[in-house]
Amino acid sequence: MELQQLVDRIASEVTPGGAVADYIPALARVDPHAFGLAVATLDGEVFGAGRHERPFSIQSISKVFTLALALAENDDVWTRVGREPSGSPFNSLVQLETEQGIPRNPFINAGAVVVTDHLGLGASDRLLEFLRRESGNPGIGVDPEVAESELDHSDRNRALAHFMASYGNMRNPVDVVLREYVRQCSIAMSCTDLAKATLFLARHGVRNDGTRLLGVSAAKRVNAVMLTCGTYDAAGQFAYRVGLPGKSGVGGGIIAVVPGRCAICVWSPALDARGNSVAGVDALDRFTTLTGWSVF
């Protein structure tokens, strides 16, 4: 089946269900029934269906790109954050105390805050620059309404950051890091933009302009951490159903990587109890079933 036919078929078959995230009030205003899907192939072709050109809040999907940017500099970020699945909710505090302020992995909030701290001041601008280049869309920016709403409701993330600071695992002031972190989560992008920006992970670290961001093993490692930790405390279920490295966000987006073939982004804001898009996981499940393209 041609990829365009495939994405059209998937878009016509899935049914959005669940509830939108409302702990960040600005996120609660999106249409829960929206659905978009884009597949970008290694040669840069994009096949889209539904509202694949509509920007949405990327939220935790940003954590994949900040990790990649940090690893592109060096790998000492791994002295500050682990790479085991947490089995706990993405904003949990409990493990931090028993594990002396070292977060389990870079995709839970505590771990992502450490990675942002590692990148330092200007982290969100560097991220924006990277995302604009890879997607070829210079219009990508921060949604100011989401950023303000998130900053106003960031007590939990602030607590995580202060807790890690008490263990000496923060280099910059908590306020500065939190502002960068909230900006990165509040970036708005479409499925098409995100699928293109994820291609470097399908190309074993090589960017769309042919230059290399990551070595082959660093790219493999980012994909591995996505597979084991990328979909909150449902990463096992995601691997079981979809069989691809993936990263979700509470804005309802999920990116997924088929190494050597393509990158996929799906968006549908209604989430299940663990925070993953219901129609998004369903669409990716159908994609790997129909194509046979999983890593297993």
Residues that bind ligand GLU (CB under 6 A): 59-60, 90-91, 109, 150, 157, 185, 249-250, 275
Q: Tell whether residue 60 is among the known ligand binding residues.
A: yes
- Nearest Cα to 18, choosing from 42, 35, 43, 39? 35
Q: Tell whether residue 109 is among the known ligand binding residues.
A: yes
Residues near 20 by beta carbon (within 8 Å), at least 6 away in sequence = 27, 28, 30, 32, 252, 269, 270, 271
Residue number with CB closer to ligand GLU (109 or 172): 109
Amino acid of residue 62: S
- Nearest Cα to 177, choosing from 197, 195, 160? 160
φ/ψ of residue 263, rounded to 5: -125, 145
CA 229 – CA 46 distance, rounded (Å): 27
Q: Which of 113, 142, 146, 181 is catalytic?
A: 181
In the complex, least distance from residue 249 CB atom to ligand GLU, rounded to whole angstroms = 4
Residue number with CB closer to ligand GLU (7 or 131): 131
Residue number with CB closer to ligand GLU (82 or 251): 251
Q: Which of 81, 115, 232, 266 is catalytic?
A: 232
Residue number with CB closer to ligand GLU (64 or 242): 64
Q: Which of 250, 257, 258, 278 is catalytic?
A: 250
Q: Within the chain, what is the greatest distance between any pair of CA atoms?
A: 55
Asked if 63 is an active-site residue, the reply is yes
Asked if 247 is an active-site residue, the reply is no
Q: Tell whether residue 129 is among the known ligand binding residues.
A: no
In the complex, least distance from residue 151 CB atom to ligand GLU, rounded to whole angstroms = 10
CA 61 – CA 75 distance, rounded (Å): 20
CA 186 – CA 172 distance, rounded (Å): 21
* Active-site annotation, residues: 60, 63, 181, 232, 250
Could you list the residues known to form a binding site for substrate, using ranges.
Answer: 60, 109, 150, 157, 181, 232, 250
Could you list the residues known to form a binding site, using ranges.
Answer: 60, 109, 150, 157, 181, 232, 250
